[in-house]
Amino acid sequence: MNSTAASAPVRVGLVGLSARGGWAPQSHLPALSRLKGYELRALSASSAESARAAGEKYRVPLAFGSTAELVASDEVDLVVVSVRVPLHREVILAALGAGKAVLCEWPLGNGLAEAEELAAAAAKAGVRTFAGLQARSAPVVRQVRDLVTDRYVGEVLSTSLVASGRRWGATFEPGGAYLLDRENGGTMLTIPFGHTVDAVAQVLGEFTEVSSTLATRRPVVHEEGTGRAAAMTVHDQVAVSGRLASGAVASLHFRAGLSRGTNFHWEINGTEGDLVVTGDHGHLQQDALTVHGARGTAAALAEIPLPARYLDVPELAGLWRSPAYNVGAQYAQIHADLTQGTALAPDFTHAARRQRLLDAIERSGDSGTRIRL
C-alpha cells in the first residue's frame, strides 16, 4: 500500500487468533477493533474447525484452516504473525512469498540465523515488514527518550536496570511448557529482556560491547495446579554489563518469576540529574510505567507526569495502562508507514540487528568473554 491508498482500510489477516484465548485476543484484537484505518478481515488457525470457532467468536469474515490460504487471499494486505516462536519462520516466508506486508511478533525468528534469513528474504521480496517491538511505541518510553535528548540529565554517565521476568520462575502455566526449552526460542532473554533492551537502546543508544553471566538456577520447575515436574533449560538469570556508543556504562539484570522486592527499576544517571522509571514487572512492552526525576540542586526525586502529547492515538484511550495500548500505538505507526511511506515502526532489518545483540550476550555468557559489537 502507499499514499494513493491512504483512504482505504488496511485489511489484516491474523495468524494465530484462537477462540481459546491467548495473547492475540488480549492485544491485537482490542487494538485493531478501535483503530481507524484497519479492518480485521481474516484469520487462520491450526485447523478449519478451530478457525471457524475463532471466526464466529470474534466476528471475523474469513476464517482459514491454513496459513497458505490466508496469505493467498486477495482480501489481505497485512499478515500479522501471532504464533509460537518456532512457527514464525514458516508463516513469514509464506507471507513474503505471496508478496504481503508482514508484522511479526517479537522475536522475529528462532535465533540469529533465522532472523537474518527472514530479513534477507524481506529485502528480496521488496515488501514492508514490521517487528513487534512495541515497547519503543510506549508513551513513557518516548517521554524518557525525549527527556534524555533534551539533556534533562546532562551527559549520560551510566544506566542500571533490574527487572523480573514474571515467567520462568518456580512454576509454569498449563500450556506453557514450550517456553521452558531454550531451543524453542521463547525465553526470558529473547522476550522480556529483548523488548526491554530494545527500549534502552532507543533511549540511550546501541551497545558497542557486552559481557554477560547467564545461568539456569531452577533446572526443574512445576506446573501450576498439577504440580507436574518439568525440566527447564532456559536461563532464569541474565546479567549483562557493557558500554554504549556514547561511552555510558550499562548494567541490566533480569531475574525469573517475581520478586518480593523490586520488579522493575531503571535508572539513568547523568552529569546534571537522574531519571528513574519503575513498574510492576520486566515486560516493558506491556507494563504501566512511572517516571521520577531530579536535576540541578533538587535533592529528592519527584514524579514527572506524562504529557498529554504522548497519548497521541485518541482511539486507544480506553486501553491506556493495558498491554494492548502499546500494540495499538505501534499499529498506528504501521498504518502511517503503509499509507504514507514513513518509516516509524521497526522492520525486519532492525529486528535482525537486535537479535545480533542477544546472540552476542549468549556467546559472552557461554564463553566468559567480552564481545564487541
Determine, yes or no, domain membership for 290: yes
| 307 plus 182 within the same structural domain | yes
pLDDT score, position 3: 40
Q: What is the pLDDT of residues 216-232, one digit of tens each?
A: 999 999 999 999 999 99
Q: What is the pLDDT of residues 232-249, one digit of tens each?
A: 999 999 999 999 999 999
pLDDT band at 287; cut points 50, 70, 90:
confident
Lowest mean pLDDT among 8-17, 18-27, 173-182, 187-196: 18-27
Peptide bond into 107 cis (omega under 30): yes
pLDDT band at 62; cut points 50, 70, 90:
very high
Q: Which domain holds residue 62?
A: 3-133+324-346
| 89 plus 188 within the same structural domain | no
| 86 plus 179 within the same structural domain | no
Position 147 pLDDT exceeds 80: yes
Query: Would you state the cell numbers that stand for residue 47, as one nine-digit string?
Result: 485447523
| 244 plus 127 within the same structural domain | no
Q: What is the pLDDT of residues 303-317, one digit of tens each?
A: 999 999 999 999 999
pLDDT score, position 22: 86
Position 93 pLDDT exceeds 80: yes
Determine, yes or no, domain membership for 372: no
Position 162 pLDDT exceeds 70: yes
Position 139 pLDDT exceeds 50: yes
pLDDT score, position 4: 37
Please say whether the beta carbons of 111 and 363 come within 8 A. Answer: no
User: In the 3-class helix/strand/coil scheme, how is the chain assigned residue by residue?
Assistant: CCHHHCCCCEEEEEECCCCCCCHHHHCHHHHHHHCCCEEEEEEECCCHHHHHHHHHHHCCCEEECCHHHHHHCCCCCEEEECCCHHHHHHHHHHHHHCCCEEEEECCCCCCHHHHHHHHHHHHHHCCCEEEECHHHHCHHHHHHHHHHHCCCCCCEEEEEEEEECCCCCCEECCCCHHHHCHHHCCCCHHHHHHHHHHHHHHHHCCEEEEEEEEECCCCEEEECCCCCEEECCCCCEEEEEEEECCCCEEEEEEECCCCCCCCEEEEEEECCEEEEEECCCCCCCCCCCEEEEEECCCCCCEECCCCHHHCCCHHHHHHCCCHHHHHHHHHHHHHHHHHHCCCCCCCHHHHHHHHHHHHHHHHHHHHCCCEEC
pLDDT score, position 6: 55
**Mean pLDDT, rounded, for 124-134:** 98
| 149 plus 295 within the same structural domain | yes
pLDDT band at 354; cut points 50, 70, 90:
very high
Please say whether the beta carbons of 65 and 91 come within 8 A. Answer: no
Determine, yes or no, domain membership for 215: yes
| 121 plus 146 within the same structural domain | no
| 235 plus 358 within the same structural domain | yes
| 296 plus 166 within the same structural domain | yes
Position 294 pLDDT exceeds 70: yes
Position 1 pLDDT exceeds 80: no
pLDDT band at 46; cut points 50, 70, 90:
confident
| 102 plus 171 within the same structural domain | no
Q: What pTM value is reported for the model?
A: 0.96
| 155 plus 241 within the same structural domain | yes
pLDDT score, position 370: 98
**Mean pLDDT, rounded, for 168-190:** 96
pLDDT band at 61; cut points 50, 70, 90:
very high
CATH code for the domain of 257: 3.30.360.10
- Average pLDDT, rounded, for the chain: 96
pLDDT score, position 7: 75
Share of the chain above pLDDT 90, in %: 94
Determine, yes or no, domain membership for 332: yes
**Mean pLDDT, rounded, for 329-341:** 98
CATH code for the domain of 328: 3.40.50.720
| 291 plus 312 within the same structural domain | yes
Please say whether the beta carbons of 45 and 17 come within 8 A. Answer: yes
Q: What is the pLDDT of residues 2-25, one digit of tens each?
A: 443 557 999 999 999 988 888 999
Distances (CA, A) of 22 to 26, 27, 123: 7, 9, 31
Determine, yes or no, domain membership for 160: yes
**Mean pLDDT, rounded, for 247-257:** 98
Determine, yes or no, domain membership for 373: no
| 162 plus 294 within the same structural domain | yes
Domain count, the chain: 2
Lowest mean pLDDT among 17-21, 65-69, 72-76: 17-21
Query: Would you state the cell numbers that stand for residue 109, as one nine-digit string?
Result: 525468528
